[in-house]
Structure 1
Amino acid sequence: MKHRDPKLFYLSMEVTVRKAGVRTHLPLDEEARPAVLQSCHPKGDSKFSLQTRRGGLVKVYDSALNCNSQYKSLLISAKTTVDELIALLLTCSNNKERVEQFSLYEVCPSKEQQRKLHPDDRPLQVQQTWLPNLQCHFLIRRNPDYLPLTRRKIFWTSGHSSSKTANTSMQLSKSHMSLLPLKPQDEKASTKKSDANNPSQLPAKNSGNPSYADYENYFYI
């Protein structure tokens, strides 16, 4: 069953109304919980069955996965993406490599053209656009620019260290601010304030020539 596409199958619920004798089939999505749904109905009035969706056959040349294999033909659904198809091929080949290491190409030998498909593209829908006389096919290849996770350089920054550095820089700026010299205006204001507190340092108001003692009370800026 490892070569089966899981998207080809879905679960449906059959609910029976005894009085009316009506049976209703409800297709369930992937997030449905069958046990919870069954508990909402009387015993024997509901049952589940596995259904299949309509799909298509795709041919993929997968020698990049297994050198002993030339191609594989798989039945997939119309909703299956490129990455899901690659994962299915890896499972068939018992290959434990990552899906990101490979890419799927659309190859047209008659026109000598090829195109790399997006991981979200749907191969079955792409195949339906091919003309019968072109003889196109799918080819899987390795990504030469793929870098394993163990070789990737990841730089981590600690929030605690950054906040600590910011606090240190703020403290340094505050200390520098405290060490800055006073401005001339501040110095004059402090001088005037000290003069007002010490009346003895105020110059004497004499109409005549000042004495030598008066000059001692002056200080120059």
Structure 2
Amino acid sequence: MRRPAARWAVLALLAVLASGGGVVAHAHPGSPRTHSASETAAGGRATAELALAAWVVARLTESGLPISDPVVCTRPASNPDPEVPPPMVAFRDRRVERSYPRPVVAAGGAVEVFASEAEVADRLALLEEQTIAAQRNGFDEMGRALHPERRYQAGPVLLRLTGFLPPQAAERYRTVFEQAVADGATSDDIPEEVPCSI
């Protein structure tokens, strides 16, 4: 019995109805639960950034890359980091054989979207500082183990990709990522929110 999911569905329905919105049906019984942008907006989480991140991950998936389990990342309650994470959608790459309890870049990747390229530069600088700390200590300032990752930027969008993939696989991600951002479209289907360790 899935009471938390049922409770969430009732709260989302009430929020959508209270905002004057309608109910949006989702296709394919048994498929992962996603939220439409209008449904999520009532919950206060829909943004143009999440819609763009969802679009990019959908394009990566449609290109044939072995992606599964896309989710909107929220900060775990146990994470004391004061840094507010950017809007992001994380995913798993089925070729990564390691198992993680939460979505992490090491398991596949994450698409992070910012308001400007300057914010991406700030994020890249922060990630580089964390990488240097992790290399020095074996873990970053949050106690997370060092895992290799690749980073690609296209405008205000950052793709963080697991370093456990071979270079040619990473290049395929980069190519599709850059084209998806250049398309400038967004997705109305926003993945489910879950705590991530990113």
Shorter chain as normaliser: what TM range?
Answer: under 0.3
Structure exhibiting the larger radius of gyration computed from Cα positions: 1
TM-score of the pair, normalised by structure 1 = 0.20
Higher relative contact order (CA 8 A, sep 6+): 2
User: Going by fraction, where is helix more abundant, 1 or 2?
Assistant: 2
